[in-house]
Amino acid sequence: MVERISLDDLFDRRLTFPDRGAQRRFARLVGIDDAKTRLTKLLGMAINPARVRSWLERHYKGAMIILDLIERRPPLVVLAGDVGTGKTELAETVGDAIAREENIEVTLFPLSLAARGSGRVGEMTKLISSAFEETVDFARRLKRDEGKSGGGVILLVDEADALTQSRDTLQMHHEDRAGVNAFIRGVDRLAEQRLPAAVILCTNRLGAIDPAVQRRAAQIFEFTRPNNEQRRAVLEPTLSELEFGSGEIDKIVELTGPSKKRSYGFTYSDLTQRFLPTLVLDAYPSGAVSFKQAIEAIKSLRPTPPFGNMTETTDDEQS
């Protein structure tokens, strides 16, 4: 029997969808439309299989094999990729899209960083097991007959490599191995009981995730830094509001990408949380934003280095 831990110790907070703020944040995730659509459908199928059954009944009456395969698939997805590429923002807001698409209430349980434990023997295993116990109990109350769901729950594990690191690592402590085993048991339990629940893992280091965890993933979404088209999709609406011309926007898109002296460009969060607000900060309150200020801002801001390459110098430092 798992010793239960309080919800406050397990989860940073609990978010309930639909939520208008989450809807706006989800809509602002541009350039990753395919991932948004596929993740919404995939998790919707896991949380509310009644709609899949209805779809199969309309188009392929009696097709039970594929239905069984879909419903038995572990309700796990992995969002992997470089820092600042939208993984966590997508994971935190996709519940709103699911709630609206499936017309149900969805609750997000973001596993607290404190759930990594303090290193005491057995602590991490207990924390992971307790997180799944809470998820299972919550989901059981939502389950209805014939695959119908009275709601859904998503367990979010950010920086997942800290909890699900490969057990093949020679230096891995036995307690960490036990924690990975507990995580796998939790995912398998959700699948076996066919509960309206799903698990999202976010990681900067896909290769560090245990192979058994990766095999259970219904899909692994890999995110990269925005290319020219994606950076334009992020920048153009705001820069157009600030009355930048098309040629000026073209130049800004170019300068925020990779260069001869820097192999990587700006991340999504570099653009939305640093560059665009800096334009206003530099101009306010004396006058309007200028193209010259935008160029100077790009030169002064250092794009977030790729994970594992945090010591790479800026263009100016290399000159």
Residues 206 and 237 in one domain: no
Predicted TM-score (pTM) of this structure: 0.88
Has residue 1 been placed in a domain?
A: no
Strand partners, 200: 77, 156
Residues 55 and 160 in one domain: yes
Distance (Å, rounded) from C-alpha 304 to C-alpha 246? 26
- Report the DSSP pairing between strands 106-110 and 219-223: unpaired
Identify which of 93, 129, 94 has the alpha carbon closest to the alpha carbon of residue 111: 129
Residues 209 and 234 in one domain: no
> What is the pLDDT at residue 117?
56
Residues 176 and 62 in one domain: yes
Distance (Å, rounded) from C-alpha 226 to C-alpha 272? 12
Query: Residue 76: in which H helix or E strand, if any?
Result: strand 76-81
How many domains does the chain contain in total?
A: 2
Has residue 172 been placed in a domain?
A: yes
186 Cβ partners below 8 Å, 6+ apart? 128, 129, 131, 132, 135, 136, 199
Query: Residue 8: in which H helix or E strand, if any?
Result: helix 7-10
> What is the pLDDT at residue 174?
64
Residues 80 and 181 in one domain: yes
Last residue of a domain, which of 221, 245, 271? 221
> What is the pLDDT at residue 315?
42
Has residue 160 been placed in a domain?
A: yes
Has residue 157 been placed in a domain?
A: yes
Query: Residue 106: in which H helix or E strand, if any?
Result: strand 106-110
Residues 233 and 170 in one domain: no
Q: What is the pLDDT along the chain (319 residues), one digit of tens a residue?
A: 556 666 677 887 899 999 999 999 999 999 899 999 999 999 999 999 999 999 999 999 989 999 999 989 999 999 999 989 999 999 999 999 999 999 999 999 999 766 555 555 467 788 889 999 999 999 999 988 765 789 999 999 998 887 888 776 545 566 678 889 999 999 999 999 999 999 999 999 999 999 999 999 999 999 999 999 999 999 999 999 999 999 999 999 999 999 998 999 999 999 999 999 999 999 999 999 999 999 999 999 999 999 876 444 444 433 3
Last residue of a domain, which of 206, 221, 236? 221
Residues 19 and 158 in one domain: yes
Distance (Å, rounded) from C-alpha 150 to C-alpha 130? 23
Residues 70 and 194 in one domain: yes
Query: Residue 254: in which H helix or E strand, if any?
Result: helix 246-255
Residues 191 and 71 in one domain: yes
Q: Domain of 48: which CATH number?
A: 3.40.50.300
Query: Residue 203: in which H helix or E strand, if any?
Result: strand 197-203
Has residue 312 been placed in a domain?
A: no
Query: Does residue 145 come out as left (phi exceeding 0), alpha (psi in the -120 to 50 range) or beta?
Result: beta
Last residue of a domain, which of 221, 256, 275? 221
Residue with the two structure tokens 């729950």: 153
Distance (Å, rounded) from C-alpha 203 to C-alpha 126? 22
Has residue 2 been placed in a domain?
A: no
Residues 155 and 290 in one domain: no
Has residue 208 been placed in a domain?
A: yes
Residues 213 and 254 in one domain: no
Residues 155 and 66 in one domain: yes
Instruction: Provide the residue range defining the domain that includes 18.
Output: 7-221
Has residue 260 been placed in a domain?
A: yes
* Residue 43 and residue 154 in contact, taking contact as beta carbons nearer than 8 Å: yes
137 Cβ partners below 8 Å, 6+ apart? none
